[in-house]
Structure 1
């Protein structure tokens, strides 16, 4: 079975698993898109774009994608370097003379050092309350004032230090080197060539009805409230972008090695190689030039997360295989990374021909065994993942955590062959079917009955009450 064919076996369950997480975690809205080798395999939306206005979320609804913006800025700079407009080792003061005039040591930091978060620039300034919507995001003069006010916290080249102000300065470099505004350049060089119809560099009030409302978190309240969209002004290069999951799949597909003509493979490797580890302890996560680097299930991935008031987002792509996953959520502390990592895990499990467990016998249709079942003790999903049937707990943070592997015995019986042995391994799951063949219940773990169960229909009023 090819990887693509294997991925397609698990897409129906990915849909069901994400649906449950949206309901379980009370997320107002979620978009997920999956691409492979330049083609979109999956694009779905759950929940509401605007709970109070009863506007359903669709796959074309627009989210704020926040620090995904940094990948666009890095791409713009690499394009300028390929065209001879800049050198990555040019000092940033060459393009932002106010840093030289203000006597800032950041003027001597290179473009590359800012791209890699190694220029020692303070993260958000000594007044970052624009992030809490207590004041507007800074304009260019205010940005420069924030940077000039003790803006370098460590010597350039000495350590990793994530900086939104640093990437905002890179937006000024794009403007100076291109002779266009930052927004004009990224539109003409990235957005329009890729046909990203739902993507732009900042808040666009002319498309307000297409934007998803962001909601607060549940960390300090039992309910969520709406958060307004705002213009990020001089911070657009660091955090202003909006987009859709499908657009991001198309965009990151162009960053896969050997795909698209957005950048040369040489430039892609410069951006995607690990420049820094963001922690003092050993781990998988690193940072390149505008791209987060990580390992998911043994797969090296690149991409970025994003945090904007009311929007949490995550995109990953594998630069070798061409797999791309993008997840956008419309709430503070939204589970975008949790969902993105789970989707990759399910796809990888589907494609793993050497996974433990007994494959579904040839000629046996797995569909009649699949479904969601519940009793007072919990919920069990029986799902096809590649060529195997698995019993999955959708309430767990990760779908393959504590999974039980199933073997087909006959038309109404599965055997639990591998999994946590505090459970009922080596025992049977039996099916009770209605006359039309649909499953009414199963008897499985602990010999207990679990009835067929599906998510309740949720009105906007119910969603608002739960939110």
Structure 2
């Protein structure tokens, strides 16, 4: 391998056991195809098999799953029943509790109020919830909890999943008394990530106090309804009960119905009930915030604000996750942002995800904004969140080449520099870049040295197709690959931060054909 830059290294780039449910597999499995299917059948068959196996193994009465791609629901499927007594099948209209996947709605409501100038993320939460002013903190030097700390679960409050999942219907006046009494802390705020449902209930109170209306009314009228989510809300008793996928527990070889949780304070952390028809609109809206671009805002919240849901407070955790094949593993770095856990992983790139687990329900959503793809699934069995299967579905799509990253448009300045790079190679000279080089370029390596390296590269590579597409990484950098007579030439082009941008780095790396 040889390089044009002599001093640096190139950047290298099922079916459920239906006898127990009193229905046949044929009756329970219902596929709903999009108008223009975009995923090969052999891929969706593998994905379906994973969900159906999960349904059987985990004793899930009813399961729905869908794939959103480039603004469309390109695949959706259902299996099983929403009511064991009536044997009514689950459909795209069946209403499920999505539990903690509700947190993203609360987080976006906070950001929307910030956009409206009604609150500040770095303000102490007690500015908006006066009952917090008398709280006793763990140490005398503990900072006060900020609104931002609540969003990212770094408030110092203790993890409360088992307890919090049973608090949804807590009345406002009871919550007020709890706040007045104060709560114990696990640690000082801003020290570590620790998941807190109580913290998101506090965010709901902030939305209520700042907006002047109950948090559920603000979120529904300002976010859900503008998106067309007319069947989505927080009151299980206000919906058509025939549309509900009833929640069940599997215990000692039998199903039992879980009691419904009515509306209340803790609904801000887990109270949303929705269906697939509505939820795909939510997923589409979120994914549409990427990439940043010019153009009219069409949603109830600005695209740049939606992208803030992926910004955390840098308390990362690292996990090892299995791949599709036995023995395959992937290191995943994760941090909690705002209503989503954000990961960087080897197989899927940047992801936003959240599970929901409640008495009677389990759910999961996984967004891959760089590819414009989202996958979600709802189940009606206690804590049956199919997060592993949703991720495996994403891996199946990636393996099949169905999730290419969205391409950045090539800016004029990059296009001009890239065209000159091709001329440099054709002419065996850096002269085509005259007037386009940043001041560091000749200081890092002289023109004669660079041209000698270029001559060596060309001797090995031979003629190259220098008009190959350029792949931008942003407005000022990118990569390219040329097919040459004797192998492959990989290149990296980086412009300077001054105006106009000039070429500060150009690397060429040749790999001979085997």
TM-score, scaled to structure 2? 0.62
Question: Aligned pair count?
Answer: 346
Distance 1:247 1:161, change over 3 A: same
* Alignment of 1:270 onto 2:308: yes
Distance 1:130 1:153, change over 3 A: closer
Query: SS in structure 2 opposite 1:285?
Result: strand
**2: distance between equivalents of 1:185 and 1:91?**
22
Query: SS in structure 2 opposite 1:150?
Result: coil
**2: distance between equivalents of 1:194 and 1:204?**
23
Of 341, 345, 352, 1:292 maps to 341
Of 148, 153, 168, 1:112 maps to 148
**2: distance between equivalents of 1:174 and 1:253?**
24
Do the aligned partners of 2:157 and 2:187 also contact (CA within 8 Å) in 1?
yes
* Alignment of 1:239 onto 2:285: no
Q: How does 1:10-409 map to 2 (within 5 A)?
A: 10-101=43-134, 108-124=144-160, 129=163, 131=165, 137-147=169-179, 148-218=181-251, 221-256=252-287, 257-258=289-290, 261-277=299-315, 279=317, 283-295=332-344, 297-351=347-401
**1: distance between equivalents of 2:258 and 2:134?**
38
**Structure 1 unaligned runs (5+)?**
355-467
Please state how far the C-alpha of 1:286 moved relative to its aligned partner: 1.9
**1: distance between equivalents of 2:86 and 2:208?**
39
Do the aligned partners of 2:364 and 2:385 also contact (CA within 8 Å) in 1?
no
Please state how far the C-alpha of 1:201 moved relative to its aligned partner: 2.6
Please state how far the C-alpha of 1:20 moved relative to its aligned partner: 4.0
Please state how far the C-alpha of 1:268 moved relative to its aligned partner: 2.9
**2: distance between equivalents of 1:159 and 1:202?**
34
**2: distance between equivalents of 1:5 and 1:215?**
34
**1: distance between equivalents of 2:97 and 2:273?**
4
TM-score, scaled to structure 1? 0.67
Please state how far the C-alpha of 1:129 moved relative to its aligned partner: 4.9
Give CA deviations for 1:321-352 in whole Å, capped at 9, x if unaligned. Answer: 21010011111242511221121111112216
Bigger Cα Rg: 2
Do the aligned partners of 1:216 and 1:309 also contact (CA within 8 Å) in 2?
yes
Please state how far the C-alpha of 1:279 moved relative to its aligned partner: 4.2
Deviates more, 1:309-318 or 1:332-341: 332-341
Please state how far the C-alpha of 1:44 moved relative to its aligned partner: 1.7
**2: distance between equivalents of 1:55 and 1:38?**
30
Distance 1:206 1:152, change over 3 A: same
Please state how far the C-alpha of 1:12 moved relative to its aligned partner: 4.2
Query: SS in structure 2 opposite 1:31?
Result: strand
Do the aligned partners of 1:278 and 1:286 also contact (CA within 8 Å) in 2?
yes
> RMSD value over aligned CA atoms?
2.9
